[in-house]
Amino acid sequence: MAKALSAFVICLALLAVILPAQAAPPTTLNFNLPALEGGRLSLEQFRGRVVIVDFFATWCGPCKRALPKLDRFAQEYADRGVSAIAFSVDKGGIKAVKPFVARLGLRMPVVLGDVEWAQANAGVRVLPTTLVIDPAGRVVKRFEGPVSEMHLANAAYPYLAKAKSPEPKAAKVKRRRPGDPRFVDLWVTDGEQFQGARGIYVHTVAQVADLNAVRGLWLALDISPENGGQTKTLYMRIDDVNKEYFMMFVRCDQLPPLGTSSAYVARLSVIDEHYKAVDSSASFPIAANCGAGGYYARNAPHAPRFAPPSAPAPGAAPNQASPPAQQDDRTVWVNAARGRIKSLALTEGEVYEDHPGMMLKVKAGLGDLPTDQGLWMTVNLWPEDAKGRALSPTGDADRLYHRVESTSLDDYLLFVRCDQMPELPQGGRMRMWITVLIGPQKNVVARSEEFLLPRPCRAAFLRH
Task: Output 404 or 392, whichever has higher pLDDT.
Answer: 404
pTM for the whole structure: 0.57
Quick check: helix, strand or coil at residue 379?
Answer: strand
Q: What's the pLDDT at 216? A: 86
b (16+ CB within 10 A) / e for 200-229? bbbbbbbbbbbbebeeebbbbbbbbbbeee
Q: What's the pLDDT at 176? A: 81
Question: 451: pLDDT confidence band, cut at 50, 70 and 90?
Answer: confident
Q: Where are the beta strands (DSSP E) in 103-165?
A: 110-112, 129-133, 139-144
* Cβ atoms of 420 and 330 closer than 8 Å: no
Task: Output 69 or 421, whichever has higher pLDDT.
Answer: 69
Q: What's the pLDDT at 443? A: 80
pLDDT tens profile 264-290: 999 999 998 888 889 998 889 888 888
- Can you tell me the distance from the alpha carbon of 415 to that of 351, in angstroms, rounded to the nearest whole number? 9
Q: What's the pLDDT at 323? A: 38
- Can you tell me the distance from the alpha carbon of 267 to that of 101, in angstroms, rounded to the nearest whole number? 28
Amino acid at 205: V
Q: What's the pLDDT at 165? A: 86
Task: Output 230 or 407, whichever has higher pLDDT.
Answer: 230
Calculate what percentage of the chain has a pLDDT beyond 70: 84
pLDDT tens profile 194-222: 888 889 999 888 889 888 887 789 999 99
- Can you tell me the distance from the alpha carbon of 101 to that of 241, in angstroms, rounded to the nearest whole number? 12
Q: How far is CA 218 from CA 6, 75, 107, 171, 238, in A?
A: 37, 34, 27, 33, 5
Question: 297: pLDDT confidence band, cut at 50, 70 and 90?
Answer: low
Instruction: Give the torsion through C-alpha atoms of 300, 306, 307, 309, to 10 deg.
Output: 70
Q: What's the pLDDT at 235? A: 93
Q: What's the pLDDT at 11? A: 47
Q: What's the pLDDT at 457? A: 65
User: Strands 82-88 and 50-56, how do they pair?
Assistant: parallel
Q: What is the mean pLDDT of residues 224-231?
A: 89
Q: What is the mean pLDDT of residues 358-363?
A: 89
Task: Output 38 or 263, whichever has higher pLDDT.
Answer: 263
b (16+ CB within 10 A) / e for 303-330? beebebeebeebeeeebeeeeeeeeeee
Position 304 pLDDT exceeds 60: no
Position 104 pLDDT exceeds 70: yes
Q: What is the mean pLDDT of residues 424-431?
A: 83
Q: What's the pLDDT at 21? A: 47
Q: Where are the beta strands (DSSP E) in 145-196?
A: 183-194
- Can you tell me the distance from the alpha carbon of 344 to that of 317, in angstroms, rounded to the nearest whole number? 12
* Cβ atoms of 28 and 137 closer than 8 Å: yes
Q: How far is CA 68 from CA 12, 64, 103, 144, 390, in A?
A: 20, 7, 11, 17, 55
Q: What's the pLDDT at 25? A: 52
- Can you tell me the distance from the alpha carbon of 454 to that of 443, in angstroms, rounded to the nearest whole number? 29
- Can you tell me the distance from the alpha carbon of 191 to that of 100, in angstroms, rounded to the nearest whole number? 39
Q: What is the number of H-type helices and E-type strands within the chain? A: 5, 27
The residues, ordered by sequence, that sit 6+ positions from 85 with a Cβ below 8 Å of its Cβ are 41, 43, 46, 51, 52, 53, 54, 108, 109, 110, 111
- Can you tell me the distance from the alpha carbon of 160 to that of 99, in angstroms, rounded to the nearest whole number? 33
Position 318 pLDDT exceeds 60: no
Q: How far is CA 99 from CA 84, 208, 213, 381, in A?
A: 19, 9, 10, 41
Please tell me the number of Cα atoms within 13 Å of 448 on its side-chain side. 31
Average pLDDT score over the chain: 80
Position 39 pLDDT exceeds 70: yes
Q: What's the pLDDT at 229? A: 86
Q: What is the residue-wise DSSP string for 418-453? A: GGGSPPEETT-EEEEEEEEEETTTTEEEEEPPPEE-
Position 255 pLDDT exceeds 90: yes
Query: DSSP H helical segments within 299-361, as ranges?
Result: none
- Can you tell me the distance from the alpha carbon of 86 to that of 95, in angstroms, rounded to the nearest whole number? 16
Q: Please, what are the domains in the chain? A: 2-171 (3.40.30.10), 183-297 (2.60.40.10), 331-463 (2.60.40.10)
Q: What's the pLDDT at 132? A: 94
Position 112 pLDDT exceeds 90: yes
The residues, ordered by sequence, that sit 6+ positions from 113 with a Cβ below 8 Å of its Cβ are 31, 33, 87, 88, 89
- Of the candidate ranges 99-108, 308-317, 423-432, the one whose mean pLDDT is the lowest: 308-317
User: The sheet that has 197-206: what strands, in order across it?
Assistant: 245-251, 197-206, 183-194, 294-297
pLDDT tens profile 41-90: 999 999 999 999 999 999 998 999 999 999 999 999 998 999 999 999 99
Quick check: helix, strand or coil at residue 63?
Answer: helix
Q: Where are the beta strands (DSSP E) in 369-428?
A: 375-384, 398-403, 411-417, 424-425
Calculate what percentage of the chain has a pLDDT beyond 90: 25
Q: What's the pLDDT at 305? A: 36
CA nearest to 175, candidates 66, 37, 368: 37
Position 124 pLDDT exceeds 60: yes
Position 109 pLDDT exceeds 50: yes
Q: What is the mean pLDDT of residues 148-157?
A: 90
Position 316 pLDDT exceeds 50: no
- Can you tell me the distance from the alpha carbon of 168 to that of 108, in angstroms, rounded to the nearest whole number? 12
Position 328 pLDDT exceeds 70: no
Answer whether the bond into residue 178 is a cis peptide, omega within 30°.
Answer: no
Task: Output 255 or 177, whichever has higher pLDDT.
Answer: 255
Position 3 pLDDT exceeds 80: no
